[in-house]
Chains A and B, each alone.
Chain A
Amino acid sequence: MIAPLGLMLRRDLGLLLRGGRRGGTVLPLLFFLAVTMLFPFAIGPDAPLLARTGGGVIWVAALLAAILPLDRLVEPDLELGFFDQWALRGLAEEWIVAVRIVAHWLSFGPPLMLASLPAAAVLGLDGATLRTVEIGLLAGTPGLAALGVTVAALTAGLRGGAALAGLLVIPLAVPLLVFGAGSLAPGGESGLALTAAASLVLIAIAPFASAAAIRSHRL
């Protein structure tokens, strides 16, 4: 079971990172930076206000950036018959999805955490806030990845599935956003633990929900 999963991870990463048909890491990253850069333009040169709201902006931008690759996470493999071929080889969808969550997270979680550094500079965040943002993203982005793959599996093959996926992810990601951005408020450090808890719940559910969704496409 381990060797096939290693192969899967290599293929998924190759597709997600290299700017292959799943869009690559660059586009969500540029989008994330663009959103965080837009904000100071819109608010104006009010440094205290920017510093106070900047952490939340980073969180919203991260959530939106995580939506971009959704339509390429599951649908192409379903359409091309990959999942059928894996099923014939006795590879459980649950494992395949778990690997894909890992690959999806690797392709946007760490890059977003890196991109948060210039974003924090633009928004004028202090060191302590930046640290909380980074830890929060580390705790929250795995949950976002799990949620993204689940929604991608659910909406694969639907007309307008990409737009629908975005609409579904946003409300479901609200707990992550509330806890993650909430940890930035004074005395809100416990929000980090709650972000991690919400992430864990999503990660625990996602492989089973996604696998069921993928199997339902065969009916």
Chain B
Amino acid sequence: MQGVGHDWHLAATELACRRGDRVLFRGLSLDLAAGQALHVTGANGIGKSSLLRLLAGLLQPYAGTVDRRGAIGLADERPALDPHLPLGQALGFWAALDGAATRASEGLGLGGLLDVPVRYLSTGQRKRAALARLIGQQAPIWLLDEPLNGLDRSAVAAVEALAAHHCAAGGICVVASHQSFALSGKAELALAEFAA
């Protein structure tokens, strides 16, 4: 995220996604430049998570292409933190791997939880821990899958502020959520319109 040029870019053209023998959506195109945000909306099971995994390159599209310039950071329902380790150590593994200089746990209210094993954390706390991991990754493109699930009101505001700050710094943010997500200047994409 240190780059000043900000030529981060995330685009998809005529994307189609198939899960099993069912096509979830087709003909989906999007184009996000640095600093832009997109909110993907839709009911459960419509393919929001699959779309994020397509954009991340973890799934191969059934049709269409994804073009990404910039590292991808993904925060989904799986925190990728060792359950039996204290939160500080679990995050420390990723901090060392990503070469993050600072602990990103401030601002997310995790300061008092660093000694607590991850498996004792609540859903919301785990979600915030995953976001701390994402911040430490310093990836310019954020893909957030239901980032507000299980969060209380103040944590929701904190996450929305984080996303706003990320976009203001030139990052790209794609939020897939059935909840409303306050983020100024975001575009909306209703996945139902592309349902096959």
Interface residues of A in 1-31 (CB under 8 A from B): 4, 7, 11, 15, 20-21
Q: Mark B41-60, 1 if CB is under 8 A from A, else 0.
A: 00000000000010011111
**Which A residues lie within 8 Å of B164 (CB)?**
none
**Which B residues lie within 8 Å of A89 (CB)?**
71, 97-98, 137
Number of interface residues of A (CB under 8 A): 17
Secondary structure dominating the interface of A: helix
Q: Which B residues contact A (CB, under 8 angstroms)? A: 53, 56-60, 71-74, 76, 78-85, 93-94, 96-98, 133, 137, 139
**Which B residues lie within 8 Å of A82 (CB)?**
80
Q: Which A residues contact B (CB, under 8 angstroms)? A: 4, 7, 11, 15, 20-21, 79-82, 84-85, 87-89, 218-219
**Which B residues lie within 8 Å of A21 (CB)?**
82-84
Find the B residue at minimum CB distance from A77.
B80
Top 4 nearest A-B pairs (CB, nearest first) are: A81-B78, A81-B80, A85-B80, A82-B80
Secondary structure dominating the interface of B: loop
Chain B nearest CB from A172 CB (Å) reads: 30
Beyond A89-B97, A218-B58, whether A81 also contacts B83 by CB under 8 A is: no
Candidate in A7, A80, A85, A218 with the most chain B CB atoms within 10 angstroms: A85
Chain B nearest CB from A1 CB (Å) reads: 12
Beyond A11-B93, A89-B97, A89-B98, whether A79 also contacts B78 by CB under 8 A is: yes
**Which A residues lie within 8 Å of B97 (CB)?**
4, 7, 89
**Which A residues lie within 8 Å of B78 (CB)?**
79-81, 84
Chain A nearest CB from B147 CB (Å) reads: 15
Q: How far is the CA of A85 from the CA of B94 in the complex (A)?
A: 10
